Amino acid sequence: MRKEVRKFLFIGAREDRQGFFAEAQERGFIHFIDKQKKSVRWNGSEEAFLLQKAIRIIRKWPPVEQEENTEGVDALSLARQLVELDEKKERLEEERQEIQIEMERIRGFGRFSLRDVAWIQKKSGLYIQFFVAKTDLFANTPVPEHCIFLNEEQGLDYYVSLAFKPVTYPKMVEITWTTSLTDLKTKELALLQALRVVEETLKKQAKYNAFLHVAFVEQLNLFHVKEVNKAVAMPLNGALFAIDGWVPATRVHEVEECCKEWRIHAEEIAVEVGDEVPTYLENAGLSRLGEDLVGIYDTPSASDADPSPWVLFAFTLFFAFIIGDAGYGLLYLLMALFLRYRFPQWNGLKKRVLNLFTVLSLGCIAWGVLMTSFFGMQIAKDNPLRKVSFLHWVVEKKGAYHFAKQDGIYQEMNHKYPGAQAAQEAHTWLAWEVEGKEVVFSKLSDHVMFELALFVGIVHLMVSMLRYAKRNPASVGWFFFLLGAYLYFASYLQAPTWLNYLLGIDLMKGGQVGLQILLGGIGFAWLVSIWKHGWTGIFEIMTLVQVFADTLSYLRLYALGLAGAIVAGTINEIAASLPFLAAVILTIVSHLINLVLSTMSGVIHGLRLNFLEWYHYSFEGGGKKFQPLKKLVYRRDA
């Protein structure tokens, strides 16, 4: 959750400044502020950038055992050497590429000495010229006088012209060069040899990867302290130093401990108008995973409630909805378990990403079981799992409702599947089969998933509106608008929802009450907005369009989940008609492709519904992340 931060003024003797900053860096809980009341920015020094560039160069080469004895090795000198070698390597590769292009251009004329050509021209008085033309240029006409055909290569004909004066030929291009093919080949071999020497040297330097990482982190720590030193004020002709800083309310007790070893006085001061208050989030466990997701999009403002747990839960739900298959979830889980076994040393962000992946895999398995889907195969009706399936239970309730009411859905099913009208009981009607498929059950399952996507979206938005109600009371009106709209439009469209066939709310009466709630919600939101914002509040009515658009946006959950299920089912149907080996190959490859595409959809749209539709009503954003002066440590096994 988001924790309060307090502002402190630190004053001390000039001689104790570096010791205090070293202590603060070791503890890592003070976010210092510069003279302009802005947070100190952590960028990097030239030395750090140089080391970072050298590390990137080393990473291009296969990992080797790291050098432990680095005594006498200067990290910055080594980094400069690596950068120079890499730049030399790039120059050699460019020169080699240019030579290869030139060789390709003149290869068709063959190998000969340009000095011999010059000698012949001098002794004979002939002009020797070289030309290229399309292969079929002289298919119906004779080759021009003085031209001798040499070679055909890659759709071009190569000619040499021997004449007593320079000549030109229509549709033929003269080629000139200053270095023979043999000499170019010799240069290429020399460049290749030099390139191998550079590459071997770079490979050997890969043993300093860990050493450069340590040096890089040390340079960052030094740079951060230098930046803080730039932010201090020096009153009394430099005898004292003073600097402001933000401290989390949960760690205020550490301020005295940090200052007591030095001649530093810390005093809590008032937050001024215009102060850039940083956002300090303190989460653990699953909420910490949600915080990482929140950080992908934006930092909450200092007045925002921490959305981390909400975002994690909603993202897991949306991702599982879009994947919609317990088999795919099982593959995710197996991959997560393998990564845990293969990389037990992972910590920090890597470990949290792996934990998030595990949570998503479990969510997919749970959702797939509830929806009775396993690699695109629906559970058979006599399978015991079907009886405990959430989807099966809801469809049974929906089918019994339509059968009892004899409503439009019932008539539509009977018109589409004429034999179904002969059913005397709801479960018989629901289980009606055509060519071995439960057609009525399947259609009503699609209806339920459609309703579920819409219901999830409405609840998600309503939660968002309530979270923001204190700052924007008009959102309470829109909360009731969504509730009323869910009741009213079900009645208006004669499309019963969960509230009707699960909770027993009468469709028509519910619609009448819903219309009243709907209009009351709009009126409340409008009047409150006018009261709070004056005449500009009349434009609050435009939020109606936004709420409708955001609600309908959640139908992407149904559409993407249905698309993945159709593809998986089609794969299984095609594989069933193929020989065993071909079926196995098709099934594995196709399901993997479908899994990758579904994963992309789940991540992109699962986050999008949080960051756009949900954030729109309960998230201000634009905050500045709490960044304390903190000592960085490199862990080789991370």
Question: Would you tell me how many other CB atoms lie within 10 Å of the CB of residue 199?
Answer: 14
Instruction: Report pLDDT digits (tens) over 391-420.
Output: 889 998 999 999 898 888 888 888 888 888
pLDDT above 70 for 499: yes
Instruction: Taking residues 176-199, report their average pLDDT.
Output: 93
Among 111, 104, 224, CA closest to 153: 104
Whether 572 and 376 have beta carbons less than 8 Å apart is answered as yes
Among 220, 267, 209, CA closest to 45: 220
- What is the Cα–Cα distance from 209 to 61, expressed in whole angstroms? 10
Instruction: Report pLDDT digits (tens) over 274-288.
Output: 888 999 999 989 999
- What is the Cα–Cα distance from 631 to 23, expressed in whole angstroms? 10
- What is the Cα–Cα distance from 313 to 530, expressed in whole angstroms? 35
- What is the Cα–Cα distance from 248 to 277, expressed in whole angstroms? 11
Whether 25 and 631 have beta carbons less than 8 Å apart is answered as yes
DSSP 132-183: EEETTTTSSSPPPTTEEEEEEETTEEEEEEEESS----TT-EE---SS-HHH
How far the first Cα of the chain sits from its last, in Å, is 27
Instruction: Taking residues 74-86, report their average pLDDT.
Output: 94
Whether 210 and 66 have beta carbons less than 8 Å apart is answered as yes
Instruction: Report pLDDT digits (tens) over 206-224.
Output: 999 999 999 999 999 999 9
What's residue 175's pLDDT?
93
pLDDT above 70 for 546: yes
What's residue 361's pLDDT?
96
Instruction: Report pLDDT digits (tens) over 607-628.
Output: 999 999 999 899 988 889 999 9
What's residue 213's pLDDT?
92
Q: What Å distances lie between residue 423 and 30, 301, 430, CA to CA?
A: 74, 60, 9
Whether 474 and 525 have beta carbons less than 8 Å apart is answered as yes
- What is the Cα–Cα distance from 488 to 312, expressed in whole angstroms? 31
Instruction: Report pLDDT digits (tens) over 413-457.
Output: 888 888 888 888 888 888 888 877 888 888 899 999 999 999 999
Instruction: Report pLDDT digits (tens) over 5-57.
Output: 999 999 999 999 999 999 999 999 999 987 665 555 556 688 899 999 999 99
pLDDT classification of 554: cutoffs 50, 70, 90: very high
What's residue 351's pLDDT?
93
Whether 514 and 487 have beta carbons less than 8 Å apart is answered as yes
- Please state, for a pLDDT cut of 90, what percent of the chain lies above it: 62
Q: Of residues 380 and 571, which shows the higher confidence score?
A: 571
What's residue 440's pLDDT?
87
Whether 267 and 9 have beta carbons less than 8 Å apart is answered as yes
What's residue 423's pLDDT?
83
What's residue 41's pLDDT?
59
Angle (nearest 5°) at CA 363 between 357 and 368 = 125
Burial 242-256 (b: 16+ CB within 10 A, else e): ebbbbbbeebbeebe
Whether 329 and 375 have beta carbons less than 8 Å apart is answered as no
Q: How confident is the prediction for the chain on average, in pLDDT?
A: 90
Instruction: Taking residues 168-178, report their average pLDDT.
Output: 91
- Please state, for a pLDDT cut of 70, what percent of the chain lies above it: 98
DSSP 209-268: HHHHHHHHHHHHHHHHHHHHHHT-B-HHHHTEEEEEEEEEGGGTHHHHHHHTTTTEEEEE
- What is the Cα–Cα distance from 467 to 15, expressed in whole angstroms? 50
Q: What Å distances lie between residue 523 and 255, 341, 516, 543, CA to CA?
A: 51, 58, 10, 12
Walk across the sheet containing 2-3 and list its strands. Answer: 2-3, 278-281, 624-625
Q: How far is CA 142 from the centre of its chain?
A: 64
What's residue 56's pLDDT?
93
Torsion sign across C-alpha atoms 375, 380, 384, 388 = positive
- What is the Cα–Cα distance from 305 to 290, expressed in whole angstroms? 13
What's residue 42's pLDDT?
54
Angle (nearest 5°) at CA 50 between 47 and 55 = 125
Q: Which helix (H) or strand (E) holds 236?
A: helix 235-238
Instruction: Report pLDDT digits (tens) over 576-609.
Output: 888 989 999 999 999 999 999 999 999 999 999 9
Whether 58 and 212 have beta carbons less than 8 Å apart is answered as yes
Mean pLDDT comparison of 56-60, 276-280, 354-358, highest-scoring range:
354-358
What's residue 303's pLDDT?
83
